[in-house]
Structure 1
Amino acid sequence: MKSWMIGRIGPMIAAALSDAAPKAPSLAADIQREPATITLDTFVVRSTQPQILALGEASHGNEDVLRARNRLIRRLANQRLIRWVALETGYAEARLLDRFVRGGVGEAEDVAKHGFTSGFGAFSENAALLRDLRAVNLVRPKGDRIGIIGIDLSLGGPLDSAPTMAPVRCALEAVTNPARREALRTAFEEAVKPGLATIAVTGEQKAGFHALARRLQAVLPPTASREAQTCARIVEQSAAVFDSMPRVITPGSIPTDAWISISRRDKAMAANALDILRRSGGKSLLLFAHTSHVLKVPRRGGQWATQQRPPRSMGEFLHQHLGKLYFVLAQVERAPAKDASVPDLITTMKIHCAGPCVVPTTTQLEHSPAIVRVGINGNDEQLIDRSAADEFLFDPRGN
C-alpha cells in the first residue's frame, strides 16, 4: 500500500459528501478553508502493509453518507488499493452480494433485498454500491476483482442475540451425506425456535445449540469450501452470543447484563474482519459499519449508561490486534444535551463547517478534556476519549 493513502482518506470522503450535495457548489472550497483539514499529512500512517480502513456512519441509512462511501470505494478500487469491502451485514446472506459484483446473474435491487440483513437492502445506495463494484470488476481479470463480504452474524430474537438458520444452511451445503444433512437441519430448526419465539431461554436450550454447533464442525469434510467453513465458524460464534443472552428482558429498556452478548457479537465481527484481511492478497480492507462498532474504545454513556460494564466494540478488538494498521474515520453528530458536565466533541474541537468536513483528532484534542460526547442515531450519544478515532466526519446539514 502507498504510504500516503491514509492521509488522503479524509479529503476523499469529504469531497464525496460534497459531490452528494449539488445544491451547495461552494462546499469544496469551504472544506479547503477549514484549518483542521490543512495538516492532514501529519496523520499519514507510514506503512506498506495491508490495513483495515474503517468508516463509521453515525446513524444507519443516511444516504448522503452511503453515496460518499460508494464514491470512496470506487476511487480506492480504481487505484487498486483494496481487495475487499466488508459490511455490517450477515456473512451467509451477503454471499449473494459477492456473487453479483463478481459478474453473477440478477438485478441489483433484488440482490440487495435478499443479500443485506437488518433491512439494509432497502436503501437505494446499497444497490448502487453493488452496481459500482460490478462495473469495476467487469473490466478486470478474475484474480484482480474486488469482493464484498459480510462480517456480521445472522441473529434475531430478543436484543438480536438468538441465532437464525442462514449460516446453518450455508454450512450444511458442504455435508454430502443427505440423511446426515437433513437430520442436522431438522435439529437446528428445533433448536433456534425457542430463542426466536420467547424471551426466557433455558440453559438446556443454550447447551443444545452449542452441541449442534460442534456436531456441524465435526461433519464438515476436509474438502468443504471456505464459505462453508466460515459459516460453520459463524454458527459457533452465534452460539457464544446466544449463550450470553440477558436473563431478564423488559420491553423498552436494555438489560444491565446485555454488555456480554453485545461484546461477543463485536468480538466475532472483529475476528471475521481479521480473517478477511489475512486473505486480502497484500491489499487493504475497507470496513463500513455503525460508528459504535468501529470506534477504538468501549461503548459508554447514552443507551449504554445502565450497563454493568461498558460493551466492547469491534474497533477496540481490531485496534488491539492491529495497532496503527487499524485506521478509523468516524462520522459523528452533535451530541444531545443530556449531560452538560461532559463537553460535546463538535464544540470542543471548534468545528465550524459550512458543509461536510473531516477533522483529524491528534492535535485538535491535545489540550481538550479527556472525555467528550459524540452524537449517534439522531438522539443518542456516546462518551469517548481522544483515542477513539483517527479522524471525525461531521456534516452540519444533518444537525
Structure 2
Amino acid sequence: MTAPIRDAVRPFTSASLTAMLPSPLRLLGLGEPTHGVEAFPELRNELFRYLVEHEGYRSIALESDCLMGLVADAYVGDGTGTLDEALRRGFSHGHGAYAANRELLRWMRAHNERCAPDGRLRFYGMDGPLETAYAASPREALSELYDYLAAHIRMPRSRADLDELLGPDEPWTDTAVMMDPSTSIGRTPAARELRLLTDDLRGLLAAHAPLLIASTSRDDWWRADLHGRTATGLLRYHDAMADTSPARISTLLSVRATMMADNLDAIVRREERRGPTLVFAHNSHLQRDRSGMGWADGHVEWWGAGAVTSVHLGDRYAFVTTNFGTRGSDVPAPDSLEGMLSELPHERGIVDPRRLTEVLDRKPERRVPADYTYASLDPSATDRMDAVVFVREV
C-alpha cells in the first residue's frame, strides 16, 4: 500500500500547501487533532508567517475566548500592556502557556511595529467565554454593550435594571450545573427577560449604527457588536444548561459551535477589504462533516463551526486537517491511514485527499485513539478536506 500512497503525498512547505488550495479564499481553517502538542501551533506559526508575507493575510483567529482575545489584539496592535500580560489575560483554556502562542504574539507585534497602519495584523479569539461544562456570566458582555449605547443614545431601561436582572455572578458560573440542570438559572424569569433586553440592545446598535460609528469609530462599533453577539450566545447557552432532555449535551455543543461560526462570520466581514483570515482550532470545530464524540455511555453529534461556515462561504472556505503518527508509546496500527502514512519518508507531509482516494485500493481502518481528546483521521471523509498535513512523530 505504501507505494501508491506515496503518489498522493509531498513534503510539507507552506507554498506547496497553499498551491493545493482553492482560490480566492476568505477563510482558511487549519485544524489540530488534539490540544497541547506544540508541533501543531508551531506549524501554524510557520504557515501564518508565509500567508502574511506571500498571500496577503492580515488576521488570525484561534480557539480561545473572543473577549479575552481583545487583550491579545491590543498588544499586537499597538503594544498595550506586556507580552506576559497578553498571554495571561488574552487567552482562555490555558493556551497562553503554550510557547508557540508566545512566539505568535511576539512575531505579530514585531511585524506591526514596522508596517503601515492599514497593514496591521489582527488577532481574534473565535470561541465564546465558555467550555462544555462552564459558561461565564453575561455581565461583562451586556455591560459593555449597554455602556457603549448609553453614552450616545437614550436607553429604554436603566443600568440599575440591567444589574438587577443579572444578579450575582456565582449562580451563572456554578460548574455543578453541568451535573444538575435543575440548579441552572438559565430559564428563570430574569434570564428570559435578559434575553429580550439583549435583543433590544442589539437592535438599537444596528438601528443607530450611522450615529454610533460617526461618534466613535468602526472599530468601537465592531467591539460593541462582539459583546452583543457574546451576550446572546451566553444566554442561549445558559438556557440549554437548564435542559433536562436527552438532547442537552448535543444542544450545548451546537450552541457553542454557533457562537464560533457567528464570530467567524463577523471576522470575515470585517476583514473583507484587508485580506483572508487563518483560523486555528481543533479539527472537530473546523471540519465540514458532522462532528461527534463519546459522552458518558453514549455518543453525541453536532454541526461544528466549520460545517456552518462552509455553508455560508462555499469554496471561499478551505479546511486543512493536521494529524500525526507516533506520540510516545501511541503507535498507529499498520492498517490505519496514520500507520500507512507513517511508513513514508517525510517527517511532515502534505496529503492530496483527492489523489489519495484514487490510489487507495482498500479502505483503511480508522485509528483507535489513545486518549479521548485525539481525533483520528476518518478515511471516509478525506474527500471533504482540502488537504491533510501529516506529522510522522510528535
Calculate the TM-score normalised by the size of structure 1: 0.76
Q: Determine the structure 2 residue equivalent to 1:318.
A: 309
Counterpart-to-counterpart distance in 2, 1:387 and 1:35? 13
Deviations 1:133-162 (A, max 9, x none): 111111222122111111111125x62356
Question: Is residue 186–residue 241 contact of structure 2 (8 Å, CA) maintained in 1?
Answer: no
Q: Does 1:128 align with 2:103?
A: yes
Q: Does the residue aligned with 2:61 lie in a helix, a strand or coil? A: strand
Give the aligned residue type for 2:337. Answer: L
Q: Determine the structure 2 residue equivalent to 1:36.
A: 9
Counterpart-to-counterpart distance in 2, 1:155 and 1:376? 26
Structure 2 vs 1, CA of residues 205 and 387 (structure 1 numbering), >3 Å: closer, same or farther?
Answer: same
Q: Determine the structure 1 residue equivalent to 2:215.
A: none
Q: Determine the structure 2 residue equivalent to 1:262.
A: 253
How many residues are treated as equivalent by the alignment?
357
Counterpart-to-counterpart distance in 2, 1:186 and 1:35? 61
Give the aligned residue type for 1:93. Answer: M
Q: Does the residue aligned with 2:289 lie in a helix, a strand or coil? A: coil
Question: Is residue 31–residue 322 contact of structure 2 (8 Å, CA) maintained in 1?
Answer: yes
Give the aligned residue type for 2:23. Answer: S
Q: Determine the structure 2 residue equivalent to 1:369.
A: 363
Q: Determine the structure 2 residue equivalent to 1:101.
A: 76
Give the aligned residue type for 1:360. Answer: D
Paired residue for 2:264, among 273, 277, 285?
273
Q: Does 1:87 align with 2:62?
A: yes
Counterpart-to-counterpart distance in 2, 1:371 and 1:227? 46
Q: Determine the structure 1 residue equivalent to 2:225.
A: 229
Give the aligned residue type for 1:237. Answer: G
Q: Determine the structure 2 residue equivalent to 1:65.
A: 40
Counterpart-to-counterpart distance in 2, 1:348 and 1:361? 14
Deviations 1:341-396 (A, max 9, x none): 9x633246675345122212112034453984475867644573223422222222
- Aligned pairs (5 A) from 1:1-399: 36-37=9-10, 44-48=20-24, 50-79=25-54, 81-155=56-130, 159-161=133-135, 163=137, 165-176=139-150, 180-190=158-168, 193-194=171-172, 196-199=174-177, 200-202=180-182, 205-207=186-188, 208-219=190-201, 222=208, 223=212, 225-245=221-241, 247=243, 257-280=248-271, 281=273, 283-300=275-292, 302=294, 306-307=298-299, 310-334=301-325, 344-347=336-339, 352-366=344-358, 367=360, 368-369=362-363, 372-373=366-367, 375=369, 380-381=374-375, 384=378, 385-398=381-394
1:320 deviation in Å? Answer: 1.9
Q: Does the residue aligned with 2:59 lie in a helix, a strand or coil? A: strand
Give the aligned residue type for 1:114. Answer: R
Q: Does the residue aligned with 2:291 lie in a helix, a strand or coil? A: coil
What stretches of structure 1 of length at least 5 have no aligned partner?
1-32, 250-254
1:86 deviation in Å? Answer: 0.9
Structure 1 stretch 356-365 or stretch 216-225: which is displaced more?
216-225
Calculate the TM-score normalised by the size of structure 2: 0.77
1:335 deviation in Å? Answer: 9.7
Question: Is residue 299–residue 310 contact of structure 1 (8 Å, CA) maintained in 2?
Answer: yes
Q: Determine the structure 2 residue equivalent to 1:9.
A: none
Identity %: 22
Counterpart-to-counterpart distance in 2, 1:172 and 1:127? 33
What stretches of structure 2 of length at least 5 have no aligned partner?
1-5, 213-219
Q: Does the residue aligned with 1:289 lie in a helix, a strand or coil? A: strand
1:256 deviation in Å? Answer: 6.4
Structure 2 vs 1, CA of residues 379 and 95 (structure 1 numbering), >3 Å: closer, same or farther?
Answer: closer
Counterpart-to-counterpart distance in 1, 2:244 and 2:117? 50
Question: Is residue 373–residue 381 contact of structure 1 (8 Å, CA) maintained in 2?
Answer: no
1:111 deviation in Å? Answer: 1.0
1:232 deviation in Å? Answer: 0.9
Question: Is residue 297–residue 387 contact of structure 1 (8 Å, CA) maintained in 2?
Answer: no
Structure 2 vs 1, CA of residues 304 and 277 (structure 1 numbering), >3 Å: closer, same or farther?
Answer: farther
Q: Does the residue aligned with 1:89 lie in a helix, a strand or coil? A: strand
Q: Does the residue aligned with 1:310 lie in a helix, a strand or coil? A: strand
Q: Does the residue aligned with 1:279 lie in a helix, a strand or coil? A: helix
Counterpart-to-counterpart distance in 2, 1:296 and 1:371? 21
- Quick one: higher RCO (CA 8 Å, sep 6+), 1 or 2? 2
1:85 deviation in Å? Answer: 0.6
